[in-house]
Amino acid sequence: MNEESFALNINRRTFLSRAAYGLGGMALASLLNRNASAALSWMGVTNPPHFAPRAKRIIHLCMAGGPSHLETFDNKPALRAIHGQVFPESYTKGQQLAQLQNTVLKARGPFVDFKRYGQSGQEISDLFPHIGSIADDICIIRSMKTEQINHDPAHAFMNTGSIVKGRPSMGSWLLYGLGAETESLPGFIVLTSAGKSGQQPVSARQWSSGFLPSKFQGILLQSKGDAVHYVGNPEGVCQSTQRQVVEEINRLNGILADDQLDPEIQTRIAQYEMAFRMQTSVPELTEFSQEPQHILDMYGVKNPGDGSFASNCLLARRLAERGVRFIQLYHRAWDHHSNIEPDMPVAARDVDQASAALIKDLKQRGMLDDTLVLWGGEFGRTPMGQGTGRDHHILAFSVFMAGGGVKGGITHGATDDLGYRSVDDVVHVHDLHATMLQLCGIDHKKLTFRFQGRDFRLTDVFGHVVKPIIA
Amino acid sequence: MLQQLSAFVGHFHPLVVHLPIGFLSLLFTMELVGLVPRFRSLLQARWLTLAASFTSALASALCGWFLAGTSDYDTELLELHRWTGVGVAAACMLCLVFYWRNWLKLYRGSLCLTMFLLVAAGHYGGSLTHGNDFLTKQMPAELKFWVETAPSKKVDVDQAIVLTHLVQPILDAKCVSCHGPGKQNGGLRLDSFTAIQKGGANGPVIVPGDSGKSALVARVLLPPEESKHMPPAGKPQLKEHETVLLSWWIDSGASAESKVSDLEASASVYAAIEQVLGAPSLPEPLPWEQIQEQTKSLGKQLGIFIRPIAAAEPWLEVNASLRGKNFSDSGLALLAPVAGNIKRLDLGGTGVSDDGLKALGAMVHLERLDLKRTALSDKGLAHCASLQQLQYLNLYATSVTDAGLEHLKCLRKLRRVYLWQSQVKPEAAQRLAGRLEDKLFISRAQNQIKNLQQQINAAKIVVDTGVPLVQPAAASVPPKVVNKLCPVSGKPLDPNVTFSFDGQLIGFCCGKCCATFQKNPKTYLPKLEATPPAQQQSPEQEAPQQDLQQSDPQ
C-alpha cells in the first residue's frame, strides 16, 4: 500500500466514523437532483486563470513520423549546393544518430523549391501551396529542438515533456487546469488518420492523463464509421430506460464510493453521465450533412467521416465549436527513411489543403482569435540523406502556430546553413509547452500536481515563454 | 571649441549642484542648533562651511549656466531655475560679506533668503529633469487635495466645442505670446477665430479640410532645426497630441462651432481628445469579493460557463453558447447584477432575441461579444451601439444587413467584426472598416517606416566595380527527368514520381516502380539508357554532375 492511499484510508476511517454520509453519497445526491442539462462540474484548478487567456482551445495537428523541416518551412540553399557531397564532419561529430550510425554521411539537398507567400513573404515549400495561402496568419518556428530521437519517446516528450511513462499529456494538463466549456463532450479528444507511406504506430499512452485523475485523459474517437462504438441504444431500449440504468449504476457506484474513498470511482460516475449525454451529442457532432458542399470542397473532404485527415480537420472544427478544450489530430505519414521524393509529396497533398482550410474556416467564423492551432511533428529529419530518404533528427525542426494570440506572418528562429542545428532563438519543446499554457492563461510554473511526494508540472523544471511570437 | 568646452563643463552641473545644498543645509542647521548655548562651539565652523557653500554655489551656478545653453529644456521652467540658482549664489555671497563685516543680523537674514532660494531652485531643477508631477505622482489619493487646485469644470467629450475647448487653448499656450495682442510677428494673430481666418502678412494660415496645405500645421511639422519651424527653437514646442488635434480640426473643416460629436474622430484623435479633456468615466465594476457568490450561483443556475478572466481582476468571462437554444432572454436578464463586470460574452448559437439584447446596454465594459448563429437582426444590433469598449464582434450567420452596421459606426475601439453568412454586402463592410480605421495612426506609422528606410539606405555601403555581380547559378531550377517511359514497367510517367540517381532525375509511372528501382537500380539502368532521353542536356549542366560523381566515394 503506498503512502497516499494509506493516508486516504486513515482519512476515510475517521471521516466515515463520524459522518453518516460520505463524500460519495453527497456526490450522488447532487447527481440525482440535477436534470440532463447539468452545470459544469469541473472548472479547473486554475480558476480563475493566472492571466487573461488569449486562446480558449488548442487544436494540435500532429504530423506523426516527423516531417522533414528541409522540405516544409526551412529553405537551405547551402544544403542544396552540396547535395551528394560528404556532409561536413564539423556539424555531426559526436552527435546522436538514429539509423545513420556507422555510415558515410552525405548531404541531401531539398528536393523541392520554396516560394515566398503573402504580404509577409514567408518561405514555404512548393509541397504546401495551400498553407502558403495562409502565410500571413501563421507563425513559423524554424528553431525547434527536442531530446528524443525515436518516435514513441519523442511523441511522449512532445505531449508530456518527459519520456517517463505515466506523465500526463498536455491536453490532460489543460483540462485539469481550465476545465472544458462543454458538459456533453469530453474536453480532450483525439482523432487519428494515416497516409499511404511513412506510417509509424502511435500508442494510446500519448493521450493518457498519467497520474492525473483519469477523467482528464484524451478520448479517441473513431475517424471512420461511428465516432463512438455502440453510442446508440440497443433495440428496445428507450432513452428513459437508459437514463434509469445510468442512474441505478451511479447509485451503486455511489455506495462503493461511500465505502472506498477512491477518486477513480468519482471518475466512473462522471463518465457514465458523460456517456449518457454523448448518446445525443455524438450523433449530432458527426452529422456532416449540415456541412454545405463548398465547405467540404474547401477541406477537400470526399466522403465525410471517411477517416481521412481532411475529414478529421472538419470534425476538429466542429469539436472546437462545441467547447472542447484540446483537440489532437495525428496523421501518421511522415517517417520517410526512404523514397522521400515520391512519398513526401503524397503525404503533403493529404494534409496541405485540409490544414489550411481548417485555419481559414476558423477565421471566417471569428474563432481563430481564440483558437490556437499547432502544426508539426515530434522531430525533424536529417539534412544528411539516408539512401533515398532522411533519418530522424532532433536538433532542428519546424512547426507553425496560428491564432490564439500568436502573431501571424512571422518566422521565428533559425537553423544553421545546412539546417542541422537550431541556432537562433532556439525553442525547446518545454518552451513550446510554456508558451501554449501562457496563451491559455496559465503560468506554467504554477500548474502543478503532487504525485509521489513532489509537485510535477508539464514543463518540469524547464520552459521559457517565447514572448516574441505572442501578439 | 569654446562651445564644446562649455558643454563639457555644463555637464558637471548635476554633480556639483548637490554640494551647495549640503553645505548650506549644514550651515543653517548649525545656526539653529547653535542658538542653544551648549552647542555654541559648533559656530566655530561657520567660516569654513560658509566659504565652502559660496564656492560650490558659484561653481554650480556657472556649470548650470553653461548647461542651459546646450539643451532644449522647457524654457519657462528653465528661466525660473536659472535665476533662482544665480540668486542662491548671490545671496550666499551676501552672507559671506555680512559675516565678514560681523553684521550678524543681516547675515542671518540673508542666510534665510539663501535657504528660501535654495529650496525654490532645487524644486525647479527637479521638475526640469524629472517632470512637473514627479513628486505628487505616487501621492495617495487622500492627500492629493493638498496639491490639486479645484478641478476645473469638466467638459463632456461629445459636447466639447473643438475650437474653444481643444484648439484655442493650444494656440493660447504656445503661439499667442508672439502672435497675439502683445506681438504680431509676421502680422499674424492667433487669439481669435476671425484672426486665425484672416491669416498673416504671407496670406492665410489655414486651408479648411487640408492640414497639409495649412501653414499653421506645416510650420509645426517642419524639422526643429529648420529656421521656419514653429514655435521657434528654445520656445515651448507643441506636444504630439496637440499637433494631432490641430490637424484634425483643420482636416474636418476648421469650423468655429463644431462639437466633437459632429466630427469623425479616429481612435488616435480620440486618445488626443481624452488627453486634454479626460476619459469619459465608466461606472466602476463591482469588486470580485462582492460578486463571487452570485457568479457561482449564476453558473449553477443557468448551467453556463462564468468566471473571472484572470486572477485578481473583477472582470468576468461568460460563455452561454454551451446551453444552445436553451439559453434565452430570461437567462441573459439574470446576468444583470454582474453586467458591469462582464468583458467577454459568448452568446453564439443561443436563443436570445433582438429584444432580449437590451440587457447588453448595462454591460458597458464589454470587449468581446459573440452573437454568431443567433436570431439577431439590425434591431438587436442597435443595443450594441453604446458599447464603447467593444473590440471583437462576431455576427456570422445572423440576419444583420448593411443598415445594421450603422449602429457600429461610433465604436472606435472595434477591431474585429465577423460578418460571414450575414446579409451584409462587402461594400458596406468596407465602408465600416474605412470609418473605424485609425487613418491618422496608420499614416504616421508609415511615415516612420519611410524615415527608417531612409536611415537604412543611408547606412548601407555602396561599392561599385562597374561590373555587375554574377549571381551564383540558380540551384533552384528544377531538374528535368531524363526518360520518357518508366524504366521498370515501360508505362508513361507520373510527373509526381521521380527519383534522382547518379545526378539524373528519373521518372516513374508509380511509387511502386520507383521503390522497385531503388532496391536494385543496376537492373533497370540499361532500360533507362534504352529509352531516348527526354531532353538533350547542355554540356555545362553535365560538367558539375561528373564532378559530383567523382567526389562520391562509393
Q: How far off is chain B from A206, nearest CA to CA, in Å?
A: 28
The C-alpha torsion from A278 through A279 and A284 to A287, rounded to 10°, is 120
Q: Do A369 and B392 touch (CB under 8 A)?
A: yes
Q: Which of B275, B35, B284, B308 is nearest to B169 (CA)?
A: B275
The lowest-confidence range among A328-332, B65-69, B233-237, B313-317 is: B233-237
Contacts of A37 in chain B (CB under 8 A): 303, 323, 326
pTM across the whole model? 0.75
Q: Is residue B215 scored above 70 in pLDDT? A: yes
A positions 186-205 inside 8 Å of B (CB): 196-197
- Residue B26: helix, strand or coil by DSSP? helix
Residue B396 in contact with residue B421, Cβ under 8 Å? yes
> What is the rounded CA–CA span in Å between residue A318 and residue B314?
32
User: Is the N-terminal amide bond of A53 cis, ω within 30° of 0?
Assistant: no
Burial A363-399, CB ≥16 within 10 A → b, else e: bbbbbbbbbbbbbbbbbbbbbbbbebbbbbbbbbbbb
> What is the rounded CA–CA span in Å between residue A163 and residue A91?
26
**Which residue from B322, B392, B416 is facing A181, i.e. has the nearest CB?**
B322
Q: Of A30, A34, A37, A442, which to mutate for an interface test with B (greatest number of B Cβ within 10 Å)?
A: A37
Neighbours of B150 (CB within 10 A): 6
**Which residue from A50, A104, A365 is facing B372, i.e. has the nearest CB?**
A365
Q: How far off is chain A from B182, nearest CA to CA, in Å?
A: 53
Q: Do A342 and B514 touch (CB under 8 A)?
A: yes
Q: Which of B89, B57, B58, B83 is nearest to B68 (CA)?
A: B83
Question: Quick one: closest CA in A to B322, which residue?
Answer: A182
Contacts of B520 in chain A (CB under 8 A): none
Q: Is residue B476 scored above 60 in pLDDT? A: no
Contacts of B298 in chain A (CB under 8 A): none
C-alpha cell at B230: 514653429
Binned at pLDDT 50, 70 and 90, residue B534 comes out as very low
Q: Does A323 touch chain B (CB under 8 A)?
A: yes
C-alpha cell at A57: 482551445
Contacts of B239 (CB under 8 A, 6+ apart): none
Q: Do B300 and A85 touch (CB under 8 A)?
A: no
Binned at pLDDT 50, 70 and 90, residue B230 comes out as confident
C-alpha cell at B232: 521657434
Q: Of B300, B518, B547, B550, which to mutate for an interface test with A (greatest number of A Cβ within 10 Å)?
A: B518
| Residue predicted with more confidence, B237 or A462 | A462
Question: Quick one: closest CA in A to B315, which residue?
Answer: A52
Q: Of A339, A362, A363, A439, which to mutate for an interface test with B (greatest number of B Cβ within 10 Å)?
A: A339
Q: Do A339 and B518 touch (CB under 8 A)?
A: yes
Binned at pLDDT 50, 70 and 90, residue B152 comes out as low
Q: How far off is chain B from A448, nearest CA to CA, in Å?
A: 17
Q: How far is CA A271 from the centre of its chain?
A: 22
Residue A402 in contact with residue A134, Cβ under 8 Å? yes
> What is the rounded CA–CA span in Å between residue A414 and residue A140?
10
Q: Does B201 touch chain A (CB under 8 A)?
A: no
- How deeply is A330 buried, as exposed, middle or buried, from its count of CB atoms within 10 A (0-12, 13-18, 19+)? buried
**Which residue from A197, A323, A369 is facing B416, i.e. has the nearest CB?**
A369
Question: Quick one: closest CA in B to A389, which residue?
Answer: B499
Q: Of B315, B318, B322, which to mutate for an interface test with A (greatest number of A Cβ within 10 Å)?
A: B322
Q: Which residue do the cell numbers 485578481 mark?
A: B312
Question: Quick one: closest CA in B to A360, which residue?
Answer: B420
Residue B218 in contact with residue B212, Cβ under 8 Å? yes
DSSP β-ladder status, A449-451 and A454-456: antiparallel
Residue B147 pLDDT: 61
Q: Which of B279, B243, B277, B248 is nearest to B160 (CA)?
A: B277
Question: Quick one: closest CA in A to B476, which residue?
Answer: A113
Residue B554 pLDDT: 41
> What is the rounded CA–CA span in Å between residue B397 and residue B375?
9
Q: How far off is chain B from A5, nearest CA to CA, in Å?
A: 32
Q: Which run of H or of E encompasses A383?
A: strand A380-386
> What is the rounded CA–CA span in Å between residue A401 and residue A396?
17
> What is the rounded CA–CA span in Å between residue B299 and residue B16?
66
In sequence order, what are the beta bridge partners of A351?
A: none
Residue B148 pLDDT: 55
- How deeply is B393 buried, as exposed, middle or buried, from its count of CB atoms within 10 A (0-12, 13-18, 19+)? buried
Neighbours of A104 (CB within 10 A): 11
Digit-coded pLDDT (tens) for B2-34: 778 888 888 899 899 999 999 999 999 999 999
Q: Does B372 touch chain A (CB under 8 A)?
A: yes
Q: How far off is chain A from B512, nearest CA to CA, in Å?
A: 10
Contacts of A154 (CB under 8 A, 6+ apart): A66, A146, A148, A378, A379, A392, A394
**pLDDT tens string for chain A (471 positions)?**
344 554 555 455 554 454 544 444 444 444 444 433 445 778 899 989 999 999 999 999 999 999 999 999 999 999 999 998 999 988 888 888 888 888 889 999 999 999 999 999 999 999 999 999 999 999 999 999 999 999 999 999 999 999 999 999 999 999 999 999 998 899 999 999 999 988 999 999 999 999 998 889 999 999 888 888 888 888 888 888 989 999 999 999 999 888 887 778 888 888 888 889 999 899 999 999 989 999 999 999 999 989 999 999 999 999 999 999 999 999 999 999 999 999 999 999 999 999 999 999 999 999 999 999 999 999 999 999 998 999 999 999 999 999 999 999 999 999 999 999 999 999 999 999 999 999 999 999 999 999 999 999 999 999 999 999 999
Neighbours of B380 (CB within 10 A): 24
Q: Which run of H or of E encompasses B132?
A: none
DSSP β-ladder status, A397-402 and A371-376: antiparallel
Q: Which of B433, B346, B436 is nearest to B396 (CA)?
A: B346
Residue B217 in contact with residue B210, Cβ under 8 Å? no
In sequence order, what are the beta bridge partners of B500?
A: B505
Residue B6 pLDDT: 84
Q: How far is CA B421 from the centre of its chain?
A: 35
Secondary structure (DSSP) of B245-308 = HHHHHHHTT--SS-BGGGS---HHHHHHHHHHH-PPPPPPPPPHHHHHHHHHHHHHHHT-EEEE
C-alpha cell at A172: 490532460
Residue A213 in contact with residue A450, Cβ under 8 Å? no
Contacts of B316 (CB under 8 A, 6+ apart): B291, B295, B306, B307, B308, B309, B338, B341, B342, B343, B344
Indicate the residue type of A129: P
Secondary structure (DSSP) of B311-350 = TT---EEEE-GGGGGG--HHHHHHTGGGGGGEEEEE-TT-
Burial B91-126, CB ≥16 within 10 A → b, else e: bbebbbebbeeeeeeebeebbebbbebbebbbebbe
Q: Which run of H or of E encompasses B77?
A: helix B75-100
Please state the ipTM of this predicted complex. Answer: 0.86
Q: Which of A311, A181, A58 is nearest to B370 (CA)?
A: A181
> What is the rounded CA–CA span in Å between residue A409 and residue A469?
10
- How big is the CA angle at A280 (ends A278 and A283), to the nearest 5 degrees? 95
DSSP β-ladder status, A397-402 and A138-145: antiparallel
**Which residue from A83, A113, A369 is facing B478, i.e. has the nearest CB?**
A113
Indicate the residue type of B362: A
Q: Which of A253, A244, A289, A255 is nearest to A271 (CA)?
A: A253
> What is the rounded CA–CA span in Å between residue A361 and residue A373?
12
Contacts of B478 in chain A (CB under 8 A): 113
**Which residue from B313, B372, B518 is facing A338, i.e. has the nearest CB?**
B518
Q: Do A50 and B310 touch (CB under 8 A)?
A: yes
Residue A37 pLDDT: 42
> What is the rounded CA–CA span in Å between residue B504 and residue A148?
35
Contacts of A53 in chain B (CB under 8 A): 309-310
Q: Does A103 touch chain B (CB under 8 A)?
A: no
- Residue A438: helix, strand or coil by DSSP? helix
**Which residue from A48, A111, A197 is facing B308, i.e. has the nearest CB?**
A48
Query: What is the Rg, in whole angstroms, of the alpha carbon atoms belonging to chain A?
Result: 24
Binned at pLDDT 50, 70 and 90, residue B475 comes out as very low
B positions 449-478 inside 8 Å of A (CB): 475-476, 478
| Secondary structure, 3-state, B86-104 | HHHHHHHHHHHHHHHCCCH
Secondary structure (DSSP) of B154-208 = PPPTTT-BIIIIIIHHHHHHHTTTTBSSS-BGGG---SSHHHHHH-BTTB-S--T
Contacts of A43 in chain B (CB under 8 A): 299, 305, 307
Residue B266 pLDDT: 79
Q: Do A366 and B372 touch (CB under 8 A)?
A: yes
In sequence order, what are the beta bridge partners of B394?
A: B370, B418
Interface A-B, measured as beta-carbon pairs within 8 A, has a size of: 115
Q: Which residue do the cell numbers 507520373 mark?
A: B494
C-alpha cell at A209: 492523463
Q: Do A86 and B305 touch (CB under 8 A)?
A: no
